[in-house]
Amino acid sequence: MQLHFFKKNKPEKANKLIFVIGLLLFINLVILGYSLFFVSPLSTELRVVFLDIGQGDAILIQTPKQNILIDGGPDKNIVRKLDQYIPLTKRHIDLMILTHPDGDHLVGLVEVLRRWSVGAVAESGMKSLNPAYIEFNSLIESKNIKRYIINTPQKMFLKDGLSLDFLWPFSKELIEDNEGDCNFLSLVAILDYDDNDFLLTGDATEETEEELMLRGLKLKVDVLKAGHHGSKYSSGIDFLEQVDPEYAIISVGENNNFGHPSLRVLDNFRKIGTKVLRTDKKGDIIFESNGQTLTVKTER
């Protein structure tokens, strides 16, 4: 007589597989549900978010018809941050802007280019041998993304009555003659929406600020993104007196190794009566505007 032995663990394995598949589907549904229903809604015509991405810069600008991303921070953390404000079903950046090719502004943009659709990219055209910049260029070319080179002052008119007035660099010769001083040539622009405006400075230095003042530009704004994470090489008192912002944003990593922000810079803001908000203290800093009234809230 021949005996046949049947293993009893086959149904158990099948049940485990069904359980795992079901769990994965449930997790995906939860993520999708979060994206659809719990992503922070756009409640006014304009939202400007200074994202807390550690020691670096990243700014998300939103209106009902567009998403604009200026810089992306030092790592892939930017992708998680964007998911808090843009639903997974609408993963699109209309305009991506790189102020200069330093890693703490650039690396996150590469991560976004890998994962998201991007309508157009704007940069100064400053050359860099940074591997992240090489990949940045490669992704733009492989995806046939439109590129704008901003190497002279110009105004970019966007949707929903928004505009970006690029003030610096002043000439393409400055870019061509650049010998690696990325911060000095960082893009500087004023974001204008009716009665509310923001001066966005990337890593601009005091020398950059002096050039802007020498050209007699109107610099008075409501909100200033302090240059170079509030370092001692930026935010000179003469410049701050001309800008005279109600709010200053310092994008900076907690307990960073650079001593940012500088005590001198903090004292300069105190002297002109500007309220300072720091990403290392407040997390994401969110401004909302209807064109006349500006409100601010913070993540923590």
Contact 242, 219 (CB under 8 A): yes
Domain boundaries, the chain: 8-38, 42-298
63-77-265 Cα angle (round to 5): 80
Q: Which residues contact 13 (CB under 8 A, 6 or more apart)?
A: none
Q: Is the model's pLDDT at 26 over the cut of 90? A: no
The highest-level CATH class for domain 42-298 is: alpha beta
Q: Crossing angle for the helix pair 103-115 and 131-142, nearest 10 degrees? A: 30
Tens digits of residue pLDDT in 199-212? 999 999 999 999 99
More confident site: 99 or 31: 99
Q: Is the model's pLDDT at 57 over the cut of 50? A: yes
Tell me: cis bond preceding 131? Omega within 30 of 0 counts: no
Ranges assigned E (strand) in 81-219: 92-97, 117-123, 146-149, 154-157, 163-168, 188-193, 196-200
Q: Is the model's pLDDT at 27 over the cut of 70? A: no
The pTM is what? 0.86
Q: How far apart are CA 161 and CA 63, in angstroms?
A: 9
Tens digits of residue pLDDT in 96-148? 999 999 999 999 999 999 999 999 999 999 988 999 999 999 999 999 999 99
pLDDT of 2: 45
pLDDT of 172: 87
Average pLDDT, the chain: 89
